[in-house]
Each structure stands twice: as structure tokens, then as C-alpha cells.
Amino acid sequence: MNNSQIINNAQLMHSSKSMNHSQSMTMGQTLNIYYLETKFEWLKSIRNPAFALPAILFPALFYIFFGVLMNQHNSQAATYLLCTYGTFGIIGPALFSFGAGLAVERGQGWLDIKDASPMPAAAQIVSRLFVSMGFSVMVLISLGVVAFSMTDVSLSLIQVLTLSTILVFGGLPFCLLGLTLGLLLKAESAPAVVNLVYLPMSFLSGLWIPITMLPNFLQSMAEFLPPYHLSQLALKVVALDVGGSVAKHLAILALFTVIFFVLAILVSNKKSVR
């Protein structure tokens, strides 16, 4: 009996059980399932050095090179890059946890096993969302330690909290983009494809160097990229943005969130039909 037959049998055996179980499951039991799934997703991610170390350390290393060493006497540049590398840093865990991570688990058959279990279908998505937010907090802490210890960056507590809130919750559209990629891509190609999306999108959005240093036609392209609008919201906290209202940036990010959400549902439904 092959793996697909085992999974199909498991689905048949658990289908009626899952229906009865879900009907009798209390709110406390449901929350406990979400908690346990989030806990084990976190432990799996934090214990994977190939994922955890680059996700946490790479933004801080980039910031040391470009925000510290190249701008030793320019606190404004260091503050600007703190916001943009913060944006760059929170996008990585969102794309790779959902994109590459989901594609690998789907290729290994883990998603089929979870689908056959009584666990709520949304639990694995919610758990990855919380894990992505947890890594975002760690990225921002590492950047903050570098910025406040090695540069002349000076932010008030309100600015720090506002900036952190914008960036942590601003990772939602990128989680949904990663979810779409994770459902579409094969395990072998997922990391490379995610990088092909992540790195050029970050550069063209002005996250590595100020957007004003890019050619005019590239600056125009940035208007159509979600990282640009998230970084502009972050830069507004320190009054270093290049313009556009808060409402405009929020509306465009909300639009991208809806688009990626619809795409994820369409891809998921297509996979289910198959």
C-alpha cells in the first residue's frame, strides 16, 4: 500500500470522527489545538538553524554594513535604513515560513495528514502567522540593538512602539503571498522562487538603498509593490518618507492583502478538487 492510499484511508476513517468531534469540541479545546499547533510550529522553526539564523541575523548584518559602517556620521541615514531594513526583515519570515516551508511540507505529505486529522484547517495557517510575527519581533530587536548601540539613532518610546506595531502587523499581506506561493510551488523549487520574488521586490521598493537613489522609472514601479508602501508607513514615524498619505498606503496594502487572500483561496480550492 503506497502513501497516497494510506492517506486516503486515513481521510475516510477520520471524516465521520472529525465531524462528530468538531461538533462536541468546546471553545477551550479548540483554542488548545491552536495553541499546541503554534507551539510546535514555533519549536520546529526556531530549532531549524537554516531558517532561524538567516531570518534573524541577515537584516542586522545588512544594516551593520549599510546603516552603520557606511553612515557613521549620518544619523538620518541610519534612521532611514533602520526603517527600511526593518521592513526587509519582517518580509523574510513571512515569505519563507509560508512559501518555502509550506511547499516542503506539502511535498512530504504532512499537509495531507493534517487535513485527514480532526485539527481545524485554519490552525496550521494561524500558527504560521504567529510564528512569522514572533520572528518579526526578534528581527526588530536585533536591528534595534545594533542601531541604538552603534549609531546615533534616537527614537522616543512612542516612535519605537509605533514603528514595531506597523512592521509586525504589516507582515500580513506577505504571509498571504507566501501562502499562495507555498500552495503553488514544488518543494524543490520553492526556496529559489521565493528568493526571486523576495530580493528583487525588496530592492525595487527602496529597502536596501533610499528610493530616491533609484532611476525615475524604477521609482514609478515601486508604487505597485507592497514593500514600498509598508516602508513608507514606517518612514512616516520618523518623518523621512517621500510622500503619500497614511490612508493611501494603508489602502494599497489592504488591496494587496485581499488580492493575495483571494489567490490563496483559489489555489487551495484548485488543489482540493485535484
Question: Per residue in 69-121, pLDDT tens?
Answer: 877 667 788 999 999 999 999 999 999 888 788 777 777 777 777 777 777 77
Identify the helix (H) or strand (E) that includes residue 82: helix 75-95
Q: Residue 273's pLDDT is what?
A: 53
Gap between the Cα atoms of 69 and 247, Å rounded: 35
Gap between the Cα atoms of 195 and 205, Å rounded: 15
What residues contact residue 32 under an 8 Å CB cut-off, 6+ apart?
none
Question: Per residue in 257-266, pLDDT tens?
Answer: 999 999 888 8
Q: Residue 142's pLDDT is what?
A: 95
Torsion of the alpha carbons at 228, 223, 200 and 53, rounded to the nearest 10: 20
Question: Per residue in 110-161, pLDDT tens?
Answer: 777 777 777 777 888 888 899 999 999 999 999 999 999 998 888 999 999 9
Residue 67's pLDDT band (cuts 50, 70, 90): confident
| Beta-carbon count within 10 A of 225 CB | 19
Contacts 24+ apart (CB under 8 A), 251-254: 252/226, 253/170, 253/173, 253/226, 253/229
Q: Residue 27's pLDDT is what?
A: 84
Which three cell numbers, joined as nine digits, stand for 161? 512602539
